[in-house]
Structure 1
Amino acid sequence: MTALIEIAAPASGRRPKGVGGRWGLLLLPALALLAVLFLVPLGLMAWRSVTDPAPGLGNYSWFFTSDVALATLVRTLAVGAVVTLVTLLLSYPYAYLMTVVSTRARIWLTLLVLLPFWTSLMVRTFAWVVLLQDSGVVNQLLGTVGMGPLQLIRTQAGVVIGMTQVLMPFMVLPLYAVMSGIDRRLLDAAQGMGARPVTAFLRVFVPLSLPGVGAGALTVFITSLGFYVTPALLGSPDQALISQQIFTQVNGLLAWGRGGAMGVVLLAVTLVLLGLVGFVLRFTRTRGGVR
């Protein structure tokens, strides 16, 4: 048995044979595709931001001195944060339910999560336009209970609703992946030591599910920053997000430099936020005794 373990597990610090050698060549097509589809356009965008219409940092100076541009950036980050929070509040109990139901019910719940991936984003957004309009189904239902009609379309509320529906799978799947690996006997042990079910859930299950919360929240937040179709159809031009402003600068005003500067600033802000989140997570693990 010891010999088998030594064969299966290479010595510490020794790289398995083949990794980084000829098997590493398998990564080249993926890296080339990533460079062509991501790095090259990103480089062109950054280049235009400092060369169009004239070399220099004029586009960035315009951005940081424009009240409209700064307000749009803040609005985009705020909408992304709200969408992430709402998505988490809806997805957490759904993912938890997937871990406690029968196998057949779990299959159906998984299909419901994956269903949005099989439908066009444009179709789903137009469906929300029909549902949320002033005389739509949602307002009719609210009117029957004395809560409507409400202004749901051409508002940030409509944008949050539409984006939440689109992004829920990106929150549910990481949460379920982590929750399904939590040993539920830990909850039984906590209750056996005198903890109430709610206390055991909050003190044992929730902390163990935080990696899924972090992964899902980051995915949803970063993805929400680049949404264009949903805010354009459900929101108001007076409350446009940065993706809409970039489209206006590039397609409407042909100001490629300003559009590139806005894209670079958004990318930089996203990377800074990712760095802060990573630092907080490492600090939390260190304080919690996890290395």
Structure 2
Amino acid sequence: MRQFRNMAMPYIVWMVVMIVLPMLLIMLYAFTDQGNDVATIRFTLENFTRFFSDKVFMSVLKRSLYIAVVTTVICIFLGYPIAYVIANRSEKSKMFWILLITLPTWINMLVRTYAWMGILQDEGIINWLLGFLGIGPITMIHTTFAVVLGMVYNFVPFMILQIYTALTKMDKSFLEAASDLGANKVQSFLRVTLPLSLPGVISGITLVFLPAVSSFFIPKLLGGGQYVLIGNVIETEFLTSGDWNFGSAISLAMAVIIMISMYITKKVDNDPTANGKGE
């Protein structure tokens, strides 16, 4: 037992320094005002009141949640068929396709997003091809389409890998039993494969929705300065305005929203009827 504690100590120290202390500082800043002296600092809820009472900030929050939901839904509809096809291929083919999907993630996300700026701009590759066909040019950069496309491109591998893992761990004997009972392929998929793969879908939703709702450089680069999400507001408050108290309040509010969404997804994942175990 003592040996286990000694082995775990570096991880505990790392968590305290890198996670617990920053969260405590965020909470301290969020519930205090801007005081230059420790003795003059007072606790207040004004930062939260300012955020939730301002229509502009609420509009940004709604837009961020909307973009995150749209991104997650698209990733599900794109990721599930791809994961399903890969999971049903030979072992050698599986490794090739998984490598192909994960290969872009080896490149820094910022670099990949800059690449999409060049692709989507008015003089980019897509508009060049459209012009060659006698169409366009079409304005794509600095639009909602560009932001969603950038997020889907960056986050869909996480959805695919989670669903693929759930599908590969599935007991194939269930499909054989369904076939023996007279179920066709569609019925087997709806009654067996889909329910058993839902934990992977739920994990994928978590890995896509959470970074999408708090992303700041994707909307900043692909959406332009006019397209602001909640992550951009937090970045501005910390780096430009220097209002760490208000920025911390927004960060804490987003952390609560994220924890609620994680609780909901965990609740669905633990629901027996969601996993096909209910009657």
TM normalised by structure 1 equals 0.85
1:216 aligns with 2:204: yes
- Rounded to whole Å, the distance in 2 between the matches of 1:59 and 1:80 is 25
- Rounded to whole Å, the distance in 1 between the matches of 2:190 and 2:20 is 43
Question: Could you tell me which residue of structure 2 aligns to residue 87 of structure 1?
Answer: 75
Structure 1 residues 144 and 209: CA distance shift in structure 2, 3 A = farther
Q: Does structure 1 retain, via aligned residues, the 8 Å contact 2:162–2:203?
A: yes
Question: Could you tell me which residue of structure 1 aligns to residue 31 of structure 2?
Answer: 50
Question: Could you tell me which residue of structure 1 aligns to residue 9 of structure 2?
Answer: 28
Q: Aligned to 2:49, which of 54, 61, 64?
A: 61
Q: Does structure 2 retain, via aligned residues, the 8 Å contact 1:52–1:257?
A: yes
Runs of 4+ in 1 over 6 A off after TM superposition: none
Question: Could you tell me which residue of structure 2 aligns to residue 236 of structure 1?
Answer: 224
Q: State the aligned residue count.
A: 271
Give the drift of 1:205: 0.8
Q: Does structure 2 retain, via aligned residues, the 8 Å contact 1:73–1:266?
A: no
- Rounded to whole Å, the distance in 2 between the matches of 1:50 and 1:185 is 55
- Deviations 1:217-273 (Å, cap 9, x if unpaired)? 111111222212211100133331111011111221111111111101100111122
Instruction: Give the letter aligned to residue 267 of structure 1.
Output: A
Question: Could you tell me which residue of structure 2 aligns to residue 117 of structure 1?
Answer: 105
Question: Could you tell me which residue of structure 2 aligns to residue 165 of structure 1?
Answer: 153
Specify every segment of 5 or more residues in structure 2 that has no aligned partner in the other structure, as ranges: 36-41
1:254 aligns with 2:210: no
Question: Could you tell me which residue of structure 1 aligns to residue 58 of structure 2?
Answer: 70
Instruction: Give the letter aligned to residue 162 of structure 1.
Output: G
Instruction: Give the letter aligned to residue 227 of structure 1.
Output: S
Q: Aligned to 2:138, which of 150, 158, 163?
A: 150
Q: Does structure 2 retain, via aligned residues, the 8 Å contact 1:87–1:171?
A: yes
Specify every segment of 5 or more residues in structure 1 that has no aligned partner in the other structure, as ranges: 1-17
Instruction: Give the letter aligned to residue 49 of structure 2.
Output: S
- Rounded to whole Å, the distance in 2 between the matches of 1:204 and 1:149 is 47
Give the drift of 1:148: 4.5
Identical amino acids, percent of aligned pairs: 32
Instruction: Give the letter aligned to residue 52 of structure 1.
Output: D
- Rounded to whole Å, the distance in 2 between the matches of 1:191 and 1:100 is 17
Give the drift of 1:284: 4.4
Q: Aligned to 1:38, which of 19, 42, 46?
A: 19
Instruction: Give the letter aligned to residue 31 of structure 1.
Output: I
Question: Could you tell me which residue of structure 2 aligns to residue 106 of structure 1?
Answer: 94
Give the drift of 1:165: 1.3
Q: Aligned to 2:84, which of 96, 107, 126?
A: 96
- Rounded to whole Å, the distance in 1 between the matches of 2:211 and 2:65 is 11
For 2:138, what is the secondary structure of its paired residue? coil
1:179 aligns with 2:167: yes
Question: Could you tell me which residue of structure 1 aligns to residue 260 of structure 2?
Answer: 272
- Rounded to whole Å, the distance in 2 between the matches of 1:141 and 1:188 is 48
Give the drift of 1:118: 1.4
Give the drift of 1:111: 1.0
Structure 1 residues 286 and 214: CA distance shift in structure 2, 3 A = closer
- Rounded to whole Å, the distance in 2 between the matches of 1:93 and 1:287 is 19
| Worse-matched range after superposition: 259-268 or 162-171 | 162-171
Q: Does structure 2 retain, via aligned residues, the 8 Å contact 1:73–1:242?
A: yes
Question: Could you tell me which residue of structure 1 aligns to residue 115 of structure 2?
Answer: 127
Give the drift of 1:58: 1.2
Question: Could you tell me which residue of structure 1 aligns to residue 270 of structure 2?
Answer: 282
